[in-house]
Amino acid sequence: MSDSILLDGREVQVTVADLVLHVDDDEFRGNIDCVITFSEPVSSEDTLRSLRLAITSRNTREVLDISGYLETSCGLECTLYWSMLSEHDLSETDIPDEIELLWEDDTIGTFALGRKGTMQSSDSATGDSQRATAREDGDAVPEELRVDDFSRGLTIFVRWYQPAVFSLFFFSIIWTLGSFYFIANVDWLPLQIWGAMFSVAGFGLMYYAVCMFRNHTRIEVLDSELTRSCGPLPWPKLFRWIPLKIPVSEITSVWTERYQSARNNQGVKRTLYRVKVSIKEGEDVTLTSSFARPEPADFITQKLQESLGNS
């Protein structure tokens, strides 16, 4: 469903899709997810500042701000938080079938609110079931992954690469060259030492960027063991996944977990996904994380469940 807003003298069409309220997940209850697209470029800063959702129930009207977002090729995936739903019993909460989308103080339109969980409507439940079935039936390997599935074992490679690495790489080059130029043009030893410290930081950023280009996390089920390693370039164990070995006999379950990232510079959290395993004695272990969408994590979970079930 679409409507329009007036932005800087332009009439911009706004489309809202996948507007879903989570009602039965203790951690995410009250989260409202949606995908918003614009017919013309609109900055994320404008969207975060101006976009609101208004929920009107029997006795109250609550306006929600965006608490998390992710820019994708499909539009802006937004998460908003309805605190009333998490603070009150579901039976005592009047959940509307439609909510109002606002741009600053103006109404964009009213949109149907789907529900994800035990209280969802039959239409929404059918849609969620169809999407889940489609994911389960899909054999396509997500672009973030590479899989070697042989009769004797399973190996999954998770790429570290992200598009933002290009900017970081060029920034590290400029940083390092600037540090060398500074050292070459000062005669006072303390300043030269200070410049050398900056050049070391520049080399560190450069190496980090190269590792993000080249490295991957390797998850393998072989010889009754689940292992995790990183490579091919060396990487400090302090900053990313340490090598891991777990006997298959000790693993009780594998699942995908959704979580909220730390707040970014704009004070906004992102919704991310990770793969975790439970072991018989000990805490749950995170195998890999920071996926911006659920498909790669779900794919790894499904492959591991299949492989571990056959081990």
pLDDT tens digits, 4-41: 777 777 777 878 877 888 776 555 677 788 888 878 77
Dist. CA 30–CA 79, nearest whole Å: 10
Confidence band for 206, pLDDT divided at 50, 70 and 90: very high
H or E element that contains 234: none
pLDDT at position 201 is: 93
The answer to whether residue 111 scores a pLDDT higher than 50 is yes
Contact 228, 241 (CB under 8 A): yes
* The pair of three-digit structure tokens given for residue 216, joined into one six-digit string: 């991957």
Asked whether the CA dihedral 200, 202, 206, 209 is positive or negative, the reply is positive
* Range with the poorest average pLDDT among 18-22, 159-163, 277-281: 18-22
Cα dist from 19 to 4, 45, 61, 128, 257, whole Å = 17, 21, 18, 12, 21
Q: Give the pLDDT confidence of 230-261 residue by residue, as tens digits.
A: 888 888 765 666 788 999 999 999 999 888 87
Distance between CA 254 and CA 270 in Å, rounded?
23
pLDDT > 70 fraction of the chain, expressed in percent and rounded = 78
Write down the CATH number for the domain with range 145-160+216-310.
2.30.29
User: What DSSP designation does 230 have?
Assistant: E
Strand partners, 276: 255, 286
The pLDDT of residue 266 is: 67
Residue 113 contacts residue 23 (beta carbons within 8 Å): no
What span, in angstroms and rounded, lies between the C-alpha atoms of 189 and 187?
Answer: 6
Q: Label residue 300 by pLDDT band (50, 70, 90).
A: very high
Structure-token pair, residue 154: 């399973």
| 138-147 average pLDDT score | 80
Q: How far is CA 235 from the centre of its chain?
A: 23
Residue 123 has pLDDT above 80, yes or no: no
Domain parsing of the chain, residue ranges: 2-137, 145-160+216-310, 165-214
Give yes or no for residue 128 having a pLDDT over 70. Answer: no
User: Quick one: average pLDDT of 122-129?
Assistant: 39
pLDDT at residue 75 greater than cutoff 60: yes
| pLDDT given at position 135 | 43
Query: Distance between CA atoms of 285 and 192, rounded to whole angstroms?
Result: 45
Taking the CA atoms of residue 91, residue 92, residue 98 and residue 102 in that order, the dihedral angle to the nearest 10 degrees is -140
Does the pLDDT at position 132 exceed 80? no
Q: Looking at residue 91, what DSSP letter applies?
A: G
% of the chain residues with pLDDT over 90: 23
Structure tokens at 173: 């080059």
Fold adopted by 2-137: Immunoglobulin-like (2.60.40)
User: Taking Cα atoms as reference points, which of 30, 44, 39, 29 lies closest to residue 6?
Assistant: 39
pTM as predicted? 0.55
- Measured at the alpha carbon of residue 140, what is the angle toward residues 136 and 142, in degrees to the nearest 5? 100
CA angle 303, 307, 311 (to 5 degrees): 170
Three-class SS state of 99: strand
pLDDT level of residue 172 (50, 70, 90 thresholds)? very high
